[in-house]
């Protein structure tokens, strides 16, 4: 059970060296790893190049300098990276899974081996991730998330599942769209809390914590979240630290509603978050414990 790996990187010279070391030391390495340098202006490019010189299975492509963006742009970067890596592997590299890992992640040494074991034991498992943690005064804190929600920044996707849903969705919140598409096509999606990846910064804080959560609220409106789901998301945010993140979350959602911003043009996704998601929560309460 082999996998290939993609990492988007933009000005990550504080993190990329640690990620590279952790991937090199994985108990099961990827058959090929592509780091997409999204026009970095710091020393990220030089660090990547040094790793390529020392490891033949690591490669990189460099894009033009772009403004840092965790929305639609990152989905385009991932799609471009996947197409490049797929064509590269078509020559003589076979794989069963596609992995995506952010440049600010530090997966434990057996991270991908543990996920592969879960896939081996469950042929219906389409997408899986471990739990995402951050370090707070030398104590690992889990970023609480549903166990039926695979995290976007450190996931594995079964190749058959990826082909079934039409590859990486080029949408804002691509990872959520991918999860929903997989479920709609009969695949299971799971997050395994005991498989650990440490994130150097909290989720949604890459552009500043306040702006990051405003964008998260905007994405919820974009996906057509029902107001009942927003109430649940607000309570969930309220119990997290810092507690104020519920404010920019709500602001992003309702300002988008007031301005009547565009929503995702995929009817299946819109219907899911307006109708099906609430029913799914009730049916699968065991996954929220």
210 token code pair: 């306040």
Residue boundaries of the structural domains of the chain: 3-199, 209-288
pLDDT of residue 166: 85
**CA 127 – CA 143 distance, rounded (Å):** 19
Q: Are 191 and 130 in contact (CB under 8 A)?
A: yes
Q: 145 pLDDT band (50/70/90 cuts)?
A: confident
Q: Distance from CA of residue 140 to its chain's centroid?
A: 20
Arithmetic mean of pLDDT, 206-221: 82
Strands 3-9 and 32-37 turn out to be: parallel
**CA 267 – CA 66 distance, rounded (Å):** 30
Q: Are 127 and 159 in contact (CB under 8 A)?
A: no
**CA 75 – CA 83 distance, rounded (Å):** 12
**CA 66 – CA 238 distance, rounded (Å):** 33
Q: Which of 125-134, 167-176, 230-239 has the lowest mean pLDDT?
A: 230-239
pLDDT tens digits for range 106-124: 999 999 999 999 999 999 9
pLDDT of residue 289: 47
pLDDT of residue 253: 93
**CA 151 – CA 143 distance, rounded (Å):** 10
**CA 105 – CA 165 distance, rounded (Å):** 26
Q: Are 3 and 116 in contact (CB under 8 A)?
A: yes
Q: Secondary structure of the chain: what % helix, strand, coil (to 5)?
A: 45, 20, 35
Q: Are 129 and 42 in contact (CB under 8 A)?
A: no
Q: Which of 61, 59, 55 is nearest to 21 (CA)?
A: 55
pLDDT tens digits for range 82-100: 999 999 999 899 999 999 9
CA-CA distances (angstroms) from residue 132 to 15, 16, 34, 142, 248?
16, 17, 22, 6, 22
pLDDT tens digits for range 44-83: 999 999 999 999 999 999 998 666 555 688 999 999 999 9
Average pLDDT score over the chain: 90
Is domain 3-199 in CATH 3.10.20.30, yes or no?
no
259 token code pair: 């301005």
């Amino acid at each position: 059970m082999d996998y290939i790996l993609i990492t988007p990187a933009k000005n990550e010279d504080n993190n990329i060296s640690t990620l590279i070391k952790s991937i090199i030391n994985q108990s099961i390495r990827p058959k090929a790893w592509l780091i997409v340098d999204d026009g970095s202006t710091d020393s990220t490019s030089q660090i990547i190049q040094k790793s390529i010189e020392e490891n033949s299975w690591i490669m990189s492509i460099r894009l033009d300098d772009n403004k840092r963006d965790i929305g639609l742009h990152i989905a385009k970067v991932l799609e471009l990276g996947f197409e490049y890596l797929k064509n590269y592997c078509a020559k003589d590299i076979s794989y069963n899974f596609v992995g995506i890992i952010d440049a600010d992640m530090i997966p434990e040494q057996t991270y991908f081996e543990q996920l592969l074991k879960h896939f081996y034991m469950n042929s219906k498992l389409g997408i899986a991730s471990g739990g995402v943690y951050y370090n707070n005064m030398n104590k690992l804190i889990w970023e609480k998330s549903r166990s039926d929600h695979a995290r976007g920044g450190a996931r594995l996707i079964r190749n058959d599942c990826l082909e079934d849903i039409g590859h990486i969705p080029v949408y804002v919140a691509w990872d959520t769209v991918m999860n929903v598409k997989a479920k709609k096509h009969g695949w299971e999606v799971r997050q395994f809390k005991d498989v650990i990846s440490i994130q150097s910064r909290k989720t949604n804080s890459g552009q500043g914590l306040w702006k990051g959560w405003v964008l998260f609220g905007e994405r919820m409106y974009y996906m057509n979240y029902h107001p009942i789901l927003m109430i649940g998301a607000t309570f969930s945010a309220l119990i997290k630290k810092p507690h104020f993140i519920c404010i920019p979350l709500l602001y992003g959602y309702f300002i988008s509603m007031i301005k009547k911003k565009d929503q995702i043009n995929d009817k299946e996704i819109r219907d899911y978050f307006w109708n099906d998601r609430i029913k799914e929560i009730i049916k699968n309460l065991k996954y929220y414990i």
